[in-house]
Amino acid sequence: MSALLLFPAPLSDGVPPDSAMPAAALAALRATRDFVVESPRTARRLLSACGHPGPIAELRLSTLDEHTPAAAVADLLAPLREGRDLGLLSEAGAPAVADPGALLVAAAHREGFRVVPFAGPSSIVLALMASGLEGQRFRFAGYLPVAPAERQAAIAQLEARSAAVDETQVFIETPYRNDALLAELLRTCAPETRLVVAADLTGPAEYIRMAPVREWRASPGTVGKVPAIFLLQAPAARRPPRPRPSAGKSRP
C-alpha cells in the first residue's frame, strides 16, 4: 500500500544531509519520485545533496505552502491514489510541525493512507533538550504577534502561564525579527524568569544560551538573522499551603 512519507530536512544549510538524516530516511527519500514541498527550488537542492538518483528535474514536485488553499490540499494526494509513495519535505526540520504539511497529513488520514514519519532533526526538541528548562511540561506557542503591543501582551501571557503551571514556553520568530523579539522579552519578563535562545541549531554557528533575564539584560548580545527558537520558564507561582486535616478528638 502506498504511503505518505514524512522526511525531516537539515536545520542549517551548512550541514550535510547524511549528518542530520538517518540512513533509513535517506534510503526511502532516494527511492521516492513524488514529493510535496514548500519551495521546489530549495527542495531540488536538498534532494540533490541527499544523493537522489534523479534526474532531479524529472521528479514530480507539488507545492504546499502558507498560500495553498485548504480546498486544494486533497488534490496533492494523487500519487497515493495511483499507488505510488508520496514524500513530504519541509524547508527545515520536522515536516508538519509548525508547518503547512499538517494539512496534507490530515488529508492522508481521512482517505485511509498510511503515514510514515522518519526520525530527524527538530528544532523544538533539540532546543528543549539543550535548555535546562522543564522538559516534562512544555508548550509550543508557534509565532508570536508582530504588532509590538500584541507581542508584549502575548509574552506576558506566556510568562504568567509558565508560572501558574510550571511549564516551559517554546516559540519562534522570523529571523529578521529575532532581535526585536529578544529586546521585547528583556523589557517584559521578570528578572528571575529563565530565558533560552537557541540559534542555528546543528549548524556551524550554533548558539545556545540559558540565563535569567537579569543576566541577559546585563549582557544582551544579538541573535542575528538566523533560524532561532526561544524558550522561557518563569519561577513557579507561590501557592498557599494546603490546610492540614484536623486531628479530631482523641479517644479516652
Which tens digits make up the pLDDT trace of 2-14? 999 999 999 988 7
Which ranges of 189-241 would DSSP assign to H, the alpha helix? 213-218
Q: Quickly state the pLDDT bin for 252 (edges 50, 70, 90).
A: very low
User: pLDDT confidence of 1, banded at 50, 70, 90?
Assistant: confident
Residues 221, 242 contacting (CB under 8 angstroms):
no
pLDDT, residue 250, reads 42
Flag the least confident range among 88-92, 139-143, 164-168.
88-92
Predicted confidence band of residue 245 (pLDDT cuts 50, 70, 90):
low
Rounded to a whole number, what is the distance in angstroms from the first to the last CA of the chain?
77
Q: What is the pLDDT of residue 236?
A: 86
Which grid coordinates belong to 41?
Answer: 527550488
Strand-pairing partners, residue 6, are: 88, 117
Segment 233-250 shows an average pLDDT of 62
User: In whole angstroms, what is the distance from residue 23 CA to residue 191 CA?
Assistant: 45
User: Quick one: DSSP state of residue 168?
Assistant: E
- H, E, C per residue of 32-76: CCEEEECCHHHHHHHHHHCCCCCCHHHCEEEECCCCCCHHHCHHH
Rounded Cα–Cα distance for residues 109 and 96 (Å):
13
Domains of the chain (ranges; CATH) run: 3-117 (3.40.1010.10), 123-233 (3.30.950.10)
- Percent with pLDDT over 90 in the chain: 82
By the 8 A CB rule, do 169 and 134 touch?
no
User: By mean pLDDT, which of 63-67, 73-77, 108-112, 125-129 is the weakest?
Assistant: 63-67
- Give the count of alpha carbons within 13 A of 181, CB side only: 25
For residue 244, pLDDT over 70 is answered with no
What is the per-residue pLDDT across 191-225, written as a single tens digit (0 to 9) for each? Answer: 999 999 999 999 988 999 999 999 999 999 899 99
Average pLDDT of the residues in 48-69: 94
In angstroms, the Cα distances linking 181 to 22, 90, 170, 196 are 34, 24, 13, 12
Kindly report the pTM of this predicted structure: 0.85
